[in-house]
Amino acid sequence: MKTIHLALMGAGTVGQALLELLPTHQARFQALGLELKLARILVRDRSKPRPGVPAHLLTDEPKGFLEGADLLVEVAGGTAQAGEVVLEALARGLPVVTANKALLAERWDALREHAEAGRLHYEASVMAGTPVLGALQSLWGNQTLALHGIVNGTCSYIIQRLEEGATYAEAFAEAGALGYLEADPTLDVGGIDAAHKICVLGRLTVDPGLAWAEVQRRTRGIAHLTPQMLRQARAEGYAIRLVASLYPSPEGWVGAVRPVRLPQEHPLVQLGSGRNALVYQGHPVGSLVFAGPGAGGGVTASAVLGDIYRALSGQPGHRPLPAPAPLPAQPAPAFEEV
Ligand code: NAP
Ligand code: HSE
């Protein structure tokens, strides 16, 4: 039996859900010849009440946190401290599992070589427990034409509840209670979280060098949407959704996030309302649709745990596309922005 010492950064919504899941998987790890032991848990504030979290393992000191660790799981969020810890782990040769799309999107220059080497596992970073990153890597045999997704659970939920007649304040509070919100929820409603995710998706499917600044420049959120606008669209046979897209332009592949009008029968409306959905268009495979829950503690922790299995079985992490995909001859039809 080989003992694996796991260093966990973050014990919030996702971290605590992971801590609940881990003991239920000990027998399966043992069947792989592995005994999983928590080494330390790094948080900001050790004095916070955290039922079910082993208090003796908590630390608020990043220095020494990785000593003796065999694997880092980062579910803290943010780009500064989380970035330093992740880069230190990678420099030590540890595999890293992370759900942190902000870090992946914004500090790609430092992380890219490690992702290329297969040391970074990040299935949970996009669509949480709905596994799309592995699936997109299996589509490299296609000419990608476009990709469109509802990838922010908070906005998807808020829009659905507004359509059902809830107030914005009610919908926002419910999304918080469900564990959907980022620590800074302006990232959700401002479209930035979806922009982080389309960056991650873009580097796996169309351009490994897709630049965060370019995607950020083409990002808008949902703050200006009103129930009246949603009702009007519905009366005309449409629905307004926050859609993150990858599409070709004469200058290269573009990543963008904005609210758009979609026909009611569009798969993103039919399958993505209140949750997440993705439509991939490629040749020769055609149009593929993925849909499922894209936020929440348990759902996200399940994907983190899936990555832990992969990392500990020696499987590589999520590698970006080796080179930019060729631009398709036909431009993709544009959606109507709202
Ligand atoms: P959260 O509830 O805010 O928890 C964050 C945890 O990380 C807390 O325990 C916090 O410590 C700790 N932390 C934050 N900054 C830290 C720092 N600088 N140093 C040490 N510890 C720090 O967040 P969450 O919802 O679990 O999300 C965690 C990550 O998963 C984020 O990257 C998020 O984008 C991603 N994610 C979340 C979901 C979701 O549905 N929630 C889904 C997919 C991906 P304290 O408790 O002491 O404050
Ligand atoms: N805040 C994010 C969302 C969590 O609402 O989609 C999942 O990444």
Task: Show the ligand 2 pocket: residues with CB < 6 angstroms.
Answer: 128, 152-154, 180-182, 188, 193, 294-295
What is the reported pLDDT for 195? 98
What is the reported pLDDT for 117? 97
Query: What is the distance in A from the centroid of ligand 2 to the CA of 125?
Result: 9
What is the reported pLDDT for 331? 73
Helix (H, G, I), strand (E, B) or coil at 236: coil
Give the closest residue to 69 by CA, choosing from 107, 48, 42.
42
Could you tell which of 152, 157, 189, 198 is best to mutate to test the pocket of ligand 2, judged by most ligand atoms within 8 Å of the CB? 152
Query: What is the distance in A from the centroid of ligand 2 to the CA of 1?
Result: 37
pLDDT tens sequence across 116-161: 999 999 999 999 999 999 999 999 999 999 999 999 999 999 999 9
What is the reported pLDDT for 52? 87
**Residue range 203-219: mean pLDDT, rounded:** 98
pLDDT tens sequence across 75-97: 999 999 999 999 999 999 999 99
115: exposed, middle or buried (Cβ count in 10 Å: 0-12, 13-18, 19+) = buried
Which atom belonging to ligand 1 lies closest to the Cα atom of 77?
Answer: 32
Q: In which band, very low, low, confident or very high, does the pLDDT at 264 lie, cut at 50, 70 and 90?
A: very high
Q: State the pTM of this model.
A: 0.98
Ligand nearest to the Cα of 100, by number: 1
Find all residues with CB under 8 Å of 55, minimum gap 6, and list them.
none
Say which of 37, 48, 101, 197 is annotated catalytic.
Answer: 197
Reply yes or no on whether the pLDDT at 213 is more than 90: yes
Ligand 1, atom 43: nearest CA belongs to which residue? 128
Strands 252-263, 336-337: pairing kind: antiparallel
What is the reported pLDDT for 305? 98
Reply yes or no on whether the pLDDT at 333 is more than 80: no
Reply yes or no on whether the pLDDT at 227 is more than 80: yes
Q: Which two tokens stand for residue 207?
A: 């351009």
What is the reported pLDDT for 327? 95
What is the reported pLDDT for 332? 73
What is the chain's alpha carbon radius of gyration, rounded to the nearest angstrom? Answer: 20
Q: In which band, very low, low, confident or very high, does the pLDDT at 329 lie, cut at 50, 70 and 90?
A: confident
Ligand nearest to the Cα of 159, by number: 2
**Over the chain, what is the mean pLDDT?**
96
Other Cβ atoms less than 10 A from the Cβ of 33: the count is 9
Query: What is the distance in A from the centroid of ligand 2 to the CA of 74?
Result: 16
Find all residues with CB under 8 Å of 205, minimum gap 6, and list them.
136, 139, 144, 147, 246, 280, 321, 325
Reply yes or no on whether the pLDDT at 330 is more than 80: no
Other Cβ atoms less than 10 A from the Cβ of 262: the count is 21
77: exposed, middle or buried (Cβ count in 10 Å: 0-12, 13-18, 19+) = buried
What is the reported pLDDT for 334? 82
User: How far is Cα 73 from Cα 10, in angstroms, rounded to an integer?
Assistant: 8
Query: What is the distance in A from the centroid of ligand 1 to the CA of 111?
Result: 19
Other Cβ atoms less than 10 A from the Cβ of 251: the count is 8
Ligand 1, atom 14: nearest CA belongs to which residue? 76
Beta-sheet strand order (sheet of 252-263): 286-292, 276-283, 143-150, 238-249, 252-263, 336-337
pLDDT tens sequence across 14-68: 999 999 999 999 999 999 999 999 999 999 999 999 998 999 999 999 999 999 9
| Residue 197 among the catalytic residues | yes
**Residue range 98-108: mean pLDDT, rounded:** 98
What is the reported pLDDT for 265? 97
Which atom belonging to ligand 2 lies closest to the Cα atom of 182?
Answer: 1
For the chain, which domains are there? 2-130+296-312 (3.40.50.720), 133-293+324-337 (3.30.360.10)
Find all residues with CB under 8 Å of 191, minimum gap 6, and list them.
152, 155, 219, 220, 221, 222, 242, 257, 258
Which atom belonging to ligand 2 lies closest to the Cα atom of 99?
Answer: 8
What is the reported pLDDT for 306? 98
